[in-house]
């Protein structure tokens, strides 16, 4: 069955990336043709938006597993040190009460307001994250996305060539966090310090992108100051307005983004006045990257 005969409608939402996908109910198992069409659209558009998807955790995990193995989150204050396959991004406690701004979970979640790509601090970075809106504030609380692929393509060929081959150290802690941070254990900080290439290639289509963000700390072979300045410059390039899409959430939206070639950040809202609750699943990448040129087989629940 060709994509032209499928019920899916894929509509661009931004000049350089992001598409809305309609004509599919993600609470139901996908046919292989629909699954392949979503995978192809994902590689093309980098961000996919699905509206009106009344998912629960089980159906969200099932759809996410269509594209690979789910990551288990790292233990930290925002998941009460009991990580699972669902990360709950919220300002509410288990009883639905708003958390005070100085609560450890709220302090930890402020990290999400920096431009980043999920799990770049792991030896194999995440393939995709899928965020589902359960409760949204009436004002604020958008999620901003930036295309590191479009940013790379905007560079002159000589600059692209100069960046090829550079290797970047990514750490689970943010650059402005001191060495004595208690956000993660010493074991986690050691284990979650890795090296990735600055320029990555999507094997499905050969398109290149920058791999930067708040977890990218140093460039091997450069002084700390010089490397930090270059990483800040490239992150600023990626997050210029022409490369950014800001998603205004509605209840039951599901947004699926490509962590290999995009950055994202949470935006602020009145956490004292309004409630917000989002559930995120994350699909692990694979090694070597050449395996990503083909759609992974579904993972059994």
Q: What is the pLDDT of residues 42-59, one digit of tens each?
A: 999 999 999 999 999 999
Does the domain formed by 3-286 have CATH 3.40.50.1450?
no
Model confidence over 211-228: pLDDT tens digits?
A: 999 999 999 999 999 999
- Predicted pLDDT of residue 290: 38
Q: How far apart are CA 199 and CA 167, in angstroms?
A: 9
- For residue 110, the surrounding DSSP H or E stretch is none
Confidence of residue 176 (pLDDT cuts 50, 70, 90): low
User: Averaged over 99-111, what is the pLDDT?
Assistant: 88
Count of positions (residues) in the chain: 301
pLDDT exceeds 80 at position 301: no
CA distances (Å), origin 57, targets 17, 142, 221, 293, 301: 28, 22, 44, 28, 12
The mean-pLDDT minimum among 69-73, 174-178, 183-187, 198-202 falls in 174-178
Q: How far apart are CA 164 and CA 46, in angstroms?
A: 22
User: Averaged over 168-197, what is the pLDDT?
Assistant: 79
The pTM assigned to this predicted structure is 0.91
Q: How far apart are CA 217 and CA 114, in angstroms?
A: 14
Task: Outline where DSSP puts E strands in the chain.
Answer: 9-12, 19-22, 47-50, 87-90, 126-135, 143-147, 167-171, 193-197, 199-201, 208-210, 216-219, 244-247, 254-258, 262-266, 277-284
pLDDT exceeds 60 at position 294: no
User: Averaged over 129-137, what is the pLDDT?
Assistant: 98
pLDDT exceeds 70 at position 174: no
Strand pairing report for 19-22 and 47-50: parallel
pLDDT exceeds 60 at position 123: yes
Residues of the chain above pLDDT 70, percent: 90
Summary mean pLDDT of the chain: 90
Q: Which of 185, 144, 198, 115 is nearest to 17 (CA)?
A: 144
- Say if CB 140 and CB 268 are below 8 A apart: yes
- Predicted pLDDT of residue 4: 52
User: Averaged over 282-298, what is the pLDDT?
Assistant: 57
Confidence of residue 189 (pLDDT cuts 50, 70, 90): confident
Torsion of CA 114, 269, 16, 47, to 10 degrees: 80
- Predicted pLDDT of residue 10: 97
Q: Which of 166, 224, 232 is nearest to 195 (CA)?
A: 166
Q: How far apart are CA 144 and CA 16, in angstroms?
A: 14
- Predicted pLDDT of residue 291: 35
Confidence of residue 203 (pLDDT cuts 50, 70, 90): confident
User: Averaged over 266-284, what is the pLDDT?
Assistant: 96
Q: How far apart are CA 196 and CA 179, in angstroms?
A: 21
- Predicted pLDDT of residue 97: 92
Q: Which of 295, 273, 257 is nearest to 130 (CA)?
A: 257
Strand pairing report for 254-258 and 126-135: antiparallel
| Domain residue extents for the chain | 3-286
């Amino acid at each position: 069955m060709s994509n032209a005969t499928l019920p899916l409608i894929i509509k661009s939402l931004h000049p350089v990336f992001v598409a809305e996908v309609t004509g599919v109910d993600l609470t139901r198992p996908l046919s292989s043709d629909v699954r392949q069409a979503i995978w192809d659209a994902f590689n093309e558009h980098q961000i996919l938006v699905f509206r009106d998807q009344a998912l629960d955790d089980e159906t969200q995990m099932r759809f996410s597993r269509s594209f690979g193995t789910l990551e288990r989150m790292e233990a930290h204050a925002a998941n009460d040190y009991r990580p699972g396959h669902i990360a709950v991004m919220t300002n509410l406690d288990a009883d639905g009460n708003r958390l005070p701004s100085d609560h450890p979970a709220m302090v930890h979640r402020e990290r999400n307001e920096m431009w980043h790509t999920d799990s770049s601090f792991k030896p194999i970075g995440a393939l995709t994250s899928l965020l589902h809106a359960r409760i949204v504030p009436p004002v604020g609380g958008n999620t901003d996305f930036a295309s590191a692929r479009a940013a790379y393509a905007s560079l002159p060929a000589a600059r692209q060539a100069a960046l090829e081959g550079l290797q970047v150290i990514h750490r689970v802690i943010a650059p402005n966090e001191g060495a004595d941070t208690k956000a993660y254990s010493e074991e986690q900080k050691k284990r979650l310090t890795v090296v990735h290439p600055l320029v990555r290639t999507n094997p499905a289509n050969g398109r290149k992108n920058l791999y930067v963000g708040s977890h990218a700390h140093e460039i091997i072979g450069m002084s700390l100051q010089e490397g930090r300045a270059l990483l800040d410059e490239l992150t600023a390039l990626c997050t210029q307005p022409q490369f950014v899409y800001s998603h205004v959430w509605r209840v039951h939206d599901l947004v699926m983004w490509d962590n290999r070639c995009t950055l994202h950040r949470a935006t602020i809202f009145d956490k004292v006045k309004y409630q917000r609750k989002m559930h995120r699943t994350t699909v692990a990448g694979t090694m070597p990257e050449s395996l990503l040129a083909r759609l992974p087989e579904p993972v059994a629940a």
